[in-house]
Amino acid sequence: MKQPIQRDLFPGALEMMILRTLKRQPMHGYALVQQIKRTSNDVLRIEEGSLYPALQRLLKEGFVKAEWGISATNRRVRIYKLTAAGGKHLEREVSSFERMLKGITQVLAPGEL
């Protein structure tokens, strides 16, 4: 059996990327996927669908809110927007991620073996 959600890298990473992307500007699901794919230079292969459960989780936590609107292609879509709580959560996540990354980089740094 497949894991229902294909987690990229580590748990919470997808949420973090969503929040970061939404911090720049509110957007709807499809645009969000394309944006994340584009900015990560297609390195991160995420299943497009897996975005939605993550969005629902964030909605439930109150880190984002959603409103129905009209997309650029003139479709009725749900536009997601970062909340204040979401912004704080993102900061916390990013700083802890950076600490972790730093640790990993140090371990992986050449010449110290």
| Site residues, another protein (CB under 8 A) | 1-2, 4-6, 28-30, 33, 47-50, 52-53, 56-57, 59-60, 71, 73, 75-78
| Cβ 94 to another protein shortest distance, Å | 23
| Cβ 110 to another protein shortest distance, Å | 37
Structural tokens at position 33:
């996927």
Which of 16/33 has CB closer to another protein?
33
Which of 60/106 has CB closer to another protein?
60
**Rounded to an integer, what distance in angstroms lies between the CA atom of residue 70 and that of residue 28?**
9
CB atoms within 10 A of CB 109: 9
CB 80 within 8 A of CB 55: yes
| Cβ 90 to another protein shortest distance, Å | 19
SS3 string of 70-107? ECCCCCEEEEEEECHHHHHHHHHHHHHHHHHHHHHHHH
| Cβ 53 to another protein shortest distance, Å | 4
Sequence-separated (6 or more) residues with CB below 8 Å from residue 15: 54, 57, 58, 63, 93
Which of 69/103 has CB closer to another protein?
69
Which of 75/92 has CB closer to another protein?
75
